Amino acid sequence: MIITKQKPLEEIVDYIKNDSVVFLIGCALCATTCKTGGEVETKRLSELLTAKGKIVTGWDILNPACYILESKKLLRRKEKEIAAAEAIISLACGGGTQAIAEITGKPVYPANDTLFQGEIIRLSPQEDRFEKKCLMCGECIVGTTGGICPVTRCPKGLRSGPCGGVNKGKCEVDPERDCAWVLIHNRLKDLGQLQNLKIPNKPRDYRKERDYVLVNKR
């Protein structure tokens, strides 16, 4: 899941300081789960912008916002409302925001900051907690590291073992954080796969972070 947090209202308003009329677009998937761009949040932002003197021609929720075809359907579904708007505010992730901008031909401004791909630790009225688990680097090695990603879990992104700063199982960058490679060692030990530690991981190949990826069906 793509984790996002909503920008401060002042920053959103600053984006549209020269625009009086706007249209809002949220996302039914990740942003809804993060409570940053679902129906509730989109309606609330509409109310806040109206209170700031802005005219909101309407809003809609895409499912998902990062799907270009959904954006095209939105253009047909809300053609008049979008045409009347001077700008669009996206309550989706960065990918969704770019998809919306590509299709609408209007200035599109993000209401959210995109943080990382991760997993849900806790959802509650008191606290929502998410944890970063994947950088989407294009060459997954967790099959040999016990299902734990060292690129993400280690602040230094070390792929072949811990640095010299590990102290009592903790990371030198953050003494409260468990060293990723200690976690990997312990997981592999539990799985009976400690031999995996002898498998060298090649340096990260940044060429695998491509603009377009074709997934072939087998």
What pLDDT score does 88 carry? 93
| CB 46 within 8 Å of CB 76 | no
What pLDDT score does 83 carry? 94
| CB 22 within 8 Å of CB 56 | yes
What pLDDT score does 218 carry? 44
The residues of the chain scoring below 50 in pLDDT are 212-218
- Asked if the 2-116 domain carries CATH number 3.40.50.2300, the reply is yes
pTM given for the model: 0.73
Listed by start position, the domains of the chain span: 2-116, 139-208
What pLDDT score does 217 carry? 45
What pLDDT score does 32 carry? 94
